[in-house]
Amino acid sequence: MKTVNAATIGRTLGVHVRTVQIRASREKWPFTTGTTRGGAEKRFKVKALPEPVRIALARQRATAGIDMDDDFNAGLKAGKQLAKQKAREQEEDRITRERNLATFNRLTPEKQAIAYGRQDVLRARDGFLATLPKNRTKKKGTAMFCQLYNSGEIRMPERIRRIVPQVSVSTLLRWQRLLESQGPAGLAPGYCNPKKGKTSLTKKQQDFIVGMIKKQPHCSVANMEMAMEARFAKIPHNSTIRRFMGRWKRENAGLLLYCTNPDVWRNKQQFAVGDASEQVERLNQVWEFDSTPADVMLADGRHSLIGVIDVYTRRLKLLVSKTSRSTAVAALIRRALLDWGVPEIAKTDNGADYVSHHIVQVFEGLGVEQKLCPPFTPENKPHIERAFKTFAHSFMEMMPGYIGHNVAQRKDIEARKSFAQRLMKRGGDEVVEINMTAEELQSYCDRWCEAIYHRNQHRKLDGKTPADVARIWSGTEKRIKDERALDILLAEAPKGDGSRVVGKSGVAVDRVNYIAEALPDPGTMVRVKLDPADLGTIFLFDEEGAFLCVAQDPMRTGLDRSETAAKLKNRQKEIIRKGAKALKKLAREQALDDIHEEVLAFREAKIANIIDLPKRSEEYSTTALEEAGKAVAALDQERRERNEIDEIMIDSLVVDKPQPKTESKPAGKNKVVPIFSSEMEWHDWLRNQENNNGLSRANHERLTEFYQTRSGRMCLELYGDLRVKFGLREDVKEN
């Protein structure tokens, strides 16, 4: 190629013809004029063109070898696509062969031997076909080979005869196709066909089936087919649906188990790695709380078990309650605090009984950090979960009234019971059903924890028992000294969050107004706690938790919460009618002053001769406990003053016996000065002086101070003013 036109140069450089013409004119490329269809054209000498242009033309000419035109470029493009497609197919074939070889290597030796035997038969067939005339077709030659092979005229090794005793034309042709498409692995028995994983179901139909399996895991193929007929206009055969359902369940067994029964999946398939107690290094560092229904039917129905475990020692406490309520949880907290000490962290779930305002306030008042576990994650508090399982699957199964851990076990127990009833009726005896009360179950739980669980060796405790770990602990335990202050701290708040506004009539709780002398001004927001032992008493704290006062309902004062108001009023009337003297006499006759000593001595005599080494302890207190202590002191002062008033009222109702008159004897030289234990006793003595010629100035002033007290005001209302009754002595008036 000596010359070239502008169009060829433009195609080679990938630019427009006009661009080539402008450049040629600017750079003065040498050219000759030639004729073409439609007129003359410039043809540029190749040797005179710029070097980049000559190199591009040489590269293009080396690739094509002929003059470039549109038809040539189209053919070149098609050839390149064909070459790419062929290379892609060869790469896919290579990957398929490698995959088939890897699959073949994973087969068992028995299946590999069968595949090798079938491949040897195909080789023998190919050798037989090579000896036949070329006019014989492959199918006819294969049929002739099968006839000779089955008759034994074609001699094969015994190992191959055992593997392939008979052959047919269709079998050999099928083996040939499998060998070409899948390699030796396709000849193995039971090997997946090349269409495994493919289905005629559409994507929407597949999603529908998977959704049905999730919604109804036990849905049958027949029901699935009916549901698909209602949803889709055209569905495949039920065998296609059955194969897809079976394959999906096999491939997603773990996911299906998680969706249908998360608890079983968590127990059987969830990884259990690490140690949940690895970071727990000291006594009472972490406590775990939880509640579970008891697997025992009691006389008054099924109850719940509330448990707490100290993670470091594995000490356990169980509480039987009708339902898991905040008050029951508080009762369990009280028992654990008094026996074990104060924890640092309390792990609970986010149930209503554990996140109630009552329990949250208890933990805040004690200075205990409450950690809430995410919903439906029992693995975050595994120690109490394991303790519940140990109790349920060991001791509880031996208890009367056991109803099984699940519905199936309960049905079996009921079936055995019915059969036993039939047998007993034949013998003429009646079946006696054993009923256990909640108190009896609580006693069994306490005894099991102390005698069995705390005395058994635990693998995670290096073979020690919980009692041993607690006994050898030499660190400091935080103990609560004031038990009554703890009771007030654990007391339940009224409905709502326990907040009330002081009104003109007092503090209203459950439509009852409570009053006190130290009541804050109306409009003040206060926090209320109920006295667990007295229906007529509440404790008031400010919004910061500081103690304010003890408020009471005069109509309910002294009532026990477990007694009704009517019964307690009748009892008070009976006590007043019989009189305080008769009650005191009865108490003296029964010698009950030292009954607590008798009880303690009796119980101490039964305790085993085991003495634990003393542990270091320190007094534990928080701001809330200190304020609760103030409430205790105020309550004691209130009750002492109330008892004094009650004694005054009782003495006023008892008729004094007439005293015999005795002649007064002249006073001797030594004057006897009476000694009084209280101001009330002095006032009674002064009131009964018959020959009182007037009051001394000291007694007069003493009466004035006495009448300013609460007891004095009561005496002033009952007996009048003694200052007016006796007046001052004459000698005092003169002075």
Strand partners, 293: 304
Give the pTM.
0.45
Q: How many CA atoms lie within 13 A of 64 on its CB side?
A: 20
Q: What is the CATH number of domain 3-68?
A: 1.10.10.10
Under a CB-based contact definition with an 8 Å cutoff, are residues 384 and 308 in contact? yes
Given the DSSP bridges, would you call strands 286-298 and 301-310 parallel, antiparallel or unpaired?
A: antiparallel
Q: Which residues contact 306 (CB under 8 A, 6 or more apart)?
A: 289, 290, 291, 318, 319, 321, 324, 328, 329, 332
Burial 4-17 (b: 16+ CB within 10 A, else e): bbbebbbbbbeeee
| pLDDT > 90? residue 547 | no
Under a CB-based contact definition with an 8 Å cutoff, are residues 154 and 148 in contact? yes
Residue type, 681: E
Cα maximum dimension of the chain: 176
User: How far apart, in whole angstroms, are the C-alpha atoms of residue 357 and residue 538?
Assistant: 18
Which is more confidently placed, 405 or 106?
106
Band (pLDDT 50/70/90 cuts) for residue 346 is: very high
Q: Which two tokens stand for residue 608?
A: 């085993």
User: What average pLDDT score do residues 321-346 get?
Assistant: 88
| pLDDT > 80? residue 221 | yes
Q: What is the CATH number of domain 286-401+436-475?
A: 3.30.420.10
User: How far apart, in whole angstroms, are the C-alpha atoms of residue 277 and residue 569?
Assistant: 55
Which is more confidently placed, 279 or 691?
279
Q: Where are the domains of the chain?
A: 3-68, 109-187, 203-268, 286-401+436-475, 483-604+615-628, 679-734
User: Could you count the other beta carbons within 10 Å of the beta carbon of residue 340?
Assistant: 20
Under a CB-based contact definition with an 8 Å cutoff, are residues 342 and 368 in contact? yes
Q: Which two tokens stand for residue 139?
A: 């199918």
Nearest to 512 by CA among 490, 533, 534, 497: 534
CA dist 218 to 203, 215, 242, 269, 406, Å?
Answer: 22, 9, 13, 21, 19
Q: Which two tokens stand for residue 45?
A: 């000498």
Tell me the per-residue pLDDT of 427-441, one tens digit each, with 9 for 90 and over: 433 333 446 788 888
Q: Which two tokens stand for residue 147?
A: 């006839």
DSSP state of 531: -
Is the Cα torsion angle 154, 158, 164, 166 positive or negative in sign?
positive
Given the DSSP bridges, would you call strands 315-321 and 477-480 parallel, antiparallel or unpaired?
A: unpaired
Tell me the per-residue pLDDT of 141-182, one tens digit each, with 9 for 90 and over: 889 889 888 988 888 888 888 889 999 999 999 988 888 877
Nearest to 219 by CA among 249, 197, 198: 249
| pLDDT > 50? residue 120 | yes
Res 657: pLDDT? 42
| pLDDT > 50? residue 561 | no
| pLDDT > 80? residue 379 | no
